[in-house]
Amino acid sequence: MAKLYYRFGQMNASKSIQLLTVAHNYEEQGKKVTLFTPSIDARYGYGRIASRVGIAKDATVVDDKTDMFAIVERERPDCVLVDEVQFLRARHLEQLARVVDDLNIAVICYGLLKDYRNQFFEGSQAAILWADQIEEIKTICAHPNCNRKATMILKLKDGKPVYTGDQIEVGGNDLYRSVCRKHYFHPNLETLS
């Protein structure tokens, strides 16, 4: 029986490489996989899912008009994998729930849970609401003298922490750091540079 999985973690928690590994495992067994990535995230190229370790795959781009259910119904893969699910709309997660329920195809979504303001993304909140199974992918705090679990995202602009502003500004380690709650509020910036 198919399920809708939501696997979330902070930045640098290995979400994309895990997605690419799952895709490889399916394809190695001769099975078909449909991959989706949001249009807003083109850091590694438009329609590319990439890991920081250098592995990448092409994916179908999702924008506000995309009907994910229709695409999957047409392609009939054995599994659907979604990267950066936090950037999707709630209706996209409803479509993915229909993929599981109506087409009996497993869907595994990967993404962040919260933004740098400690607020849910629309896609993350919808993933929590619709998922059959929620799994955390853990990583440690970016502070050099801390081994706590990273649970927050710290945004840095011009070397200073930012806690307010627009929710979405796509970036990597140049803009965001995964930190524990203590270092979110007391980042000790000279050691994070």
Domain boundaries, the chain: 4-136, 152-191
The one-letter amino acid code at 151 reads: T
Reply yes or no on whether the pLDDT at 13 is more than 70.
yes
How far apart CA 158 and CA 144 sit, in angstroms, is: 20
Q: In angstroms, how far is the first alpha carbon of the chain from the final one?
A: 47
> 54-113, pLDDT tens digit by residue?
788 989 999 999 999 999 999 999 999 999 999 999 999 999 999 999 999 999 999 999
**For 14-23, 47-56, 60-69, 147-156, which range has the lowest pLDDT when averaged over its residues?**
47-56
Pick the CATH number of 4-136 from 3.40.190.290, 3.50.50.60, 2.60.40.2240, 3.40.50.300: 3.40.50.300
pLDDT at 187: 84
CB–CB of 189/158 below 8 Å?
A: no
Lookup: tokens for 73: 């119904």
94 included as an active-site residue: no
Among candidate residues 27, 28, 84, 136, the one labeled active-site is 84
Tell me the C-alpha to C-alpha distance, in Å, between residue 115 and each of 1, 15, 29, 159: 33, 16, 36, 18
Reply yes or no on whether the pLDDT at 53 is more than 80.
no
Residue of 85, 75, 88 lying closest to 33 (CA atoms): 75
- Cβ burial, residue 2 (10 Å; 0-12/13-18/19+): middle
More confident residue, 166 or 39: 39
110 bridge partner residues: 7
pLDDT at 132: 98
- Residues 6+ away with beta carbon under 8 Å from 187: 143, 154, 161, 177, 179
